[in-house]
Amino acid sequence: MRTRISHPPDRISYGRSIWAHILRDQLDVTEEEFWKCVKEGEKPDRGVPPVPVESLPADLVHLLITKVGLPEAEIAQMTREVAIARLQRFWTGGEQP
């Protein structure tokens, strides 16, 4: 999380209202999420889905869809080894699209 804030010319501290504004409008976090990030390094949830532990390479998925003709839902259930084996079967003529 990053934000920029100018310091007042007389170096006084900012009040709670500006602090609340920064958290809410600039950083888009609660005070609890902010301090958890600062103290424990836990980033706030920004709605980005987590990357699966074992994801398939994009080019492999593309080949399975365009060449082999598999639906995305079926490919999403495959492990890397199964997906590679399925593509190898196609290339060796063991499976037609």
Dist CA 72 CA 58 (whole Å): 12
Q: Are residues 26 and 41 in the same domain?
A: yes
Q: If you average pLDDT over residues 23-33, what whole number do you get?
A: 89
Q: If you average pLDDT over residues 52-63, what whole number do you get?
A: 89
List C-alpha distances in Å: 75 to 10, 12, 21, 80, 93.
62, 59, 45, 10, 20
Structure tokens at 44: 């706030």
Q: Are residues 39 and 54 in the same domain?
A: no
Dist CA 78 CA 84 (whole Å): 9
The range of the structural domain enclosing residue 67 comes to 49-97
Percentage of residues in the chain having pLDDT higher than 70: 91
pLDDT at 96: 59
Mean pLDDT of the chain: 85
Q: Are residues 30 and 65 in the same domain?
A: no
Q: Are residues 61 and 96 in the same domain?
A: yes
Q: Are residues 30 and 53 in the same domain?
A: no
For the cut 90, the answer to whether the pLDDT of residue 97 exceeds it is no
Of 83 and 13, the structure prediction assigns the larger pLDDT to 83
Q: Are residues 57 and 28 in the same domain?
A: no
